[in-house]
Chain A
Amino acid sequence: MIVGAMIALVSLSYLTAGAASQKLRPGNTIGILMLIVGTSWTLDHLLTDVPFPVLLLARVWPAILGHLLIAYPTGRLETPGRRTVVAAGYTEMLTLVTTGYYAPPGEHWAEVAQSLEVPITSLVGFGMLSALFHRWRTSTVAQRRTLTAMLGASAVAIISFALWEPASRTGHAPPGIAFALSLSSIPFAYLTGLLRRRFDRANVADLVVRLNNAEPPNVRDALADTLHDPTLQIAYWVPTHSHYVHADGTPLHPKQPHPTQPHPTQTHTRVDRAGTPVAILLHDPVLDSELVEAACAAVGLALENERLAADLRARLRQLAESRAKVLSAAETERRRLERDLHDGVQQRLLAVAMTLALAETVPTHRSTTLLTEAKTSVLATIDDLRALCNGLHPPILTERGLPGAVRELTALTDVDLALTLDTPLPPEIETTAYYVVAEALANATKHADATRTSVTITGGPEELTIRVDDNGTGGADPSAGSGLRGLADRVEATGGTMRVLSDAEGTSVRVVLPCGS
């Protein structure tokens, strides 16, 4: 009676799990394998004295079960090792059933074959256990969540199966109930995994409540918990630079999935709100994409808030970096200046003083030459000083402000200049703007062979926009360490932004500088 109930329990559990799997995941072969195991097991325990094909079907369930366990959860046998161990299981079953059916009793080779059952079963069982253990070890935390229960049940079932035969031969057969329970724990574990996705959906609703209660709300931790993926990362969109940054503002460098690796360890899901990107989630590919999207929708507002914070942090970080570069550039510049003044101007003036001292002592007809020499030296010094002053701060800016300075810059070239500037600018913004125009114009004429250039400067109450377009050969790249890079640092140090669009059609340098108080 108990034995019958046990047999029925195993049959029912496999058939039910198989049917449920077919309904919930129709494309997955695990469901079919479950159904076959259930059927085969039932036939094996109900029928005796059947023709060979039926016998084969009835006896094949351990091999099918092995196949199922190795193929879990995708239903596919993905590596040669897994295929080998599954094939070994089938071969063993086929051999045993065939020899058991066709060989006359007492035949020597058949007995040998039958006596090999235990060692071969142990070997195949060991192979399957190794495959499962390897699978568990190489899986991610999120994968383990569904794998662990199933693999644990599988291991118990495989060990009990391998030990059953030798144990019963020595007369120490464990109670059938233990074996039946260990076998039926597999479909139960499988069903739990299937249904867990349903429970996860319910958890998404708790996310919002959780975020509201947390102080400060941590979207990443909440999402990682709800989706059961501790490796989950969120990167936020920064529209001014068209790239994603981490919550601390550092730019995201997406890891390229390795081409030889069949399962990239991370995939990403983009989160948009009202058509504009907000963030991307980097997460385990095993996560149910519908679940991820539902979770993202639930925390949409919190994500948007975090995005603003990350955007701010990215700006601060960039500002700090640019400031540091500008400071160090200023320091270098001061050193150069000191050297130029010391080696150039001071030495020259000393030489002039000496020449003049000499002129005082020599007869008049010789002093004239010395005086001319001194004058030439002084004029050269004036030239040096003029160049130095120009490098320090463009004198025209002091004299005429940005409009006059830009007019002087464009006075000698055919540049379309459109200048709308009503309010006076803060000095550092004026200087930065001047260098933007000067550098962009220099690039256009020197490097890009432009024949048409336009400069547009528009001052508003909050910001000053500068645009320099040319029809040259392009090739301007701020990241390539040209003068444009230093310019970008300068612009960013004021809290402004600079974008350079450059292709074969020409170059467009677009700068926005803050000029409000």
Chain B
Amino acid sequence: MRVVIAEDSTLLREGLTRLLAEAGFQITAAVDSAESLLTAVGAHRPDVAIVDIRMPPTHTDEGLRAAVALRRDHPGVGILVLSQYVRVSYAAELLDLGVDGVGYLLKDRVSDLTEFVAAIRRVGAGGSAFDPAVVGHLLGRRRAESDRLTERERDVLMLMAEGRTNQAIARSLYITERTVEKHCTNIFAKLDLAANPQDHRRVLAVLRYLNG
């Protein structure tokens, strides 16, 4: 899988490059600004662009704006936004791009290589990866609705909202895929969600619902 990295901190950029190369990714470019990111993506057509939010010249939200531009110019490229902080409003803005090939993770997640690599692969394959902290925030907001769910169903919902497949959810909760499917059907019924719980777009339905 081909990856472009945009991160202005040299230390982190080098670290990510090393880490991902080790994990079997092909790093086609590692750049330090939003502008060079757009050029690099145009030149290399990677599967995923990993984008830091704060970058030169203003160190504010360049990464987010670059993500919007990338989606517009290169809709096929997956975008994984990395951030130092959890921002529900940023997640909402990314959701507006759709959930196909979109991810939003805290930088801390690089510490769990297995999970991090899985998230990049998901985004690269057109899936999604939303940080558990963001999902937790959203779920906390919908306390009244999420109270109707059982504890196990909430666990499944969290993992589903993060963008994981049923197979991954089953593995992570030590249950069978069939049980996961049953939980999903229950969740969608309890939350009154119209989407098909087996559809890959269910993440969008769940996140939009939570953020609504």
Contacts of B84 in A (CB 8 A): 386, 389, 395
B85 and A386 contacting across the interface, CB-CB below 8 Å: yes
Q: Quick check: A399 and B89 within 8 Å, CB to CB?
A: no
Secondary structure of the B contact surface, majority rule: helix
Instruction: Find the residue from A383, A400, A408, A411 having the highest chain B CB count within 10 A.
Output: A411
| Residues of chain A in range 389-405 having any CB-CB distance to chain B below 8 Å | 389-390, 395-396, 398-400, 404
Instruction: For the complex, count residues of A whose C-beta is within 8 A of B.
Output: 19
Chain A residue nearest in CB terms to B107: A382
Which residues of chain B have C-beta atoms less than 8 A from A383's C-beta? 108
A375 beta carbon closer than 8 Å to chain B: yes
In the bound complex, do residue A411 and residue B108 qualify as a contact, i.e. CB atoms below 8 Å apart?
Answer: no
Say if the beta carbon of B202 comes within 8 Å of chain A. Answer: no
Q: B140, A412: Cβ atoms under 8 Å? A: yes
Question: Which residues of chain B have C-beta atoms less than 8 A from A386's C-beta?
Answer: 84-85
Q: Which of A379, A382, A389, A411 contacts B88 (CB 8 A)?
A: A411
Check if B108 sits within 8 Å of A382, measured CB to CB. Answer: yes
In the bound complex, residues from chain B placing their C-beta under 8 Å from that of A389 are 84
Cβ–Cβ contact B59 & A398, under 8 A = yes
Residue of A378, A379, A412 touching B137 (CB-CB under 8 A): A412
CB neighbours of A231 from chain B (8 A): none
Q: A375 to B111, Cβ gap below 8 A?
A: yes
Say yes or no: is B164 at the interface (Cβ < 8 Å to chain A).
no
Q: Give every chain A residue within 8 A of B85 (Cβ-Cβ).
A: 386, 390, 395-396
A400→B61 contact, CB < 8 A:
yes
Asked whether any CB of chain A lies closer than 8 Å to the CB of B53, the reply is yes
User: In the assembled complex, which residues on chain B have CB atoms less than 8 Å from the CB atom of A390?
Assistant: 85
A386–B84 Cα gap in the complex (Å)?
A: 8
* A interface SS class: helix
Is the CB–CB distance between B88 and A412 below 8 Å?
Answer: yes
Let me know if A413 is at the binding interface, CB within 8 A.
yes
Q: How far is the CA of A386 from the CA of B106 in the complex (A)?
A: 11
Contact yes or no, B92 A411, CB < 8 A: yes
Residues of A within 8 A of B53 (CB): 399
Complex contacts, B107 vs chain A, CB 8 Å: 382
A378 near B141: Cβ-Cβ < 8 Å: no
Is the CB of A198 closer than 8 A to any CB of chain B? no
Chain A residues in 8 Å Cβ range of B138: 412
Q: How large is the interface on B (under 10, 10 to 19, 20 to 34, 35 or more residues)?
A: 10 to 19
Determine whether B60 belongs to the interface, using a CB cutoff of 8 Å to chain A.
yes
> How distant is A476 from chain B, measured CB to nearest CB, in Å?
24
- CB contacts (< 8 Å) of A447 on chain B: these are none
CB distance from B66 to the nearest CB of A (A): 13
* Pair B61/A399 contact, Cβ less than 8 Å: yes
Please name the residue on chain B nearest to A405 by beta carbon. Answer: B89
**Interface residue B182 (Cβ < 8 Å from any Cβ of A):** no
Which of B54, B92, B108 lies in contact with A399, CB distance below 8 A? Answer: B54
B190 at the interface (CB under 8 A from A): no
**A382 neighbours in B (Cβ, 8 Å):** 107-108
Scoring A382, A389, A399, A412 by chain B CB atoms within 10 A of each residue's CB, the highest score goes to A399
Most interface-central of B59, B87, B137 (chain A CB within 10 A): B87
A411:B111 contact, CB within 8 angstroms = no
A407 within 8 Å of B by Cβ? yes
Interface mask (B99-139 → A, CB under 8 Å = 1, otherwise 0): 00000000110010000000000000000000000000110
Q: List chain B residues, Cβ under 8 A from A404.
A: 61, 89
Q: From A379, A395, A400, A412, give the contact of B108 (CB < 8 A).
A: A379
Closest to A398 in B: B60
CB neighbours of A396 from chain B (8 A) = 85, 87
Given contacts A395-B84, A400-B61, could you give 19 more A-B pairs where the C-beta distance is less than 8 Å? A378-B111, A379-B108, A379-B111, A382-B108, A383-B108, A389-B84, A395-B85, A396-B85, A398-B59, A399-B54, A399-B60, A404-B61, A408-B87, A408-B89, A411-B88, A411-B89, A412-B137, A412-B140, A412-B141
Q: List 26 A-B contacts (CB under 8 A).
A: A379-B108, A379-B111, A382-B108, A386-B85, A389-B84, A390-B85, A395-B84, A395-B85, A398-B54, A398-B59, A398-B60, A399-B54, A400-B61, A400-B89, A404-B61, A407-B89, A408-B87, A408-B88, A408-B89, A411-B89, A411-B92, A412-B88, A412-B137, A412-B138, A412-B140, A413-B141
Task: Report, nearest first, the 6 A-B pairs whose CB atoms are least far apart.
Answer: A411-B88, A408-B89, A399-B60, A412-B141, A399-B61, A411-B89
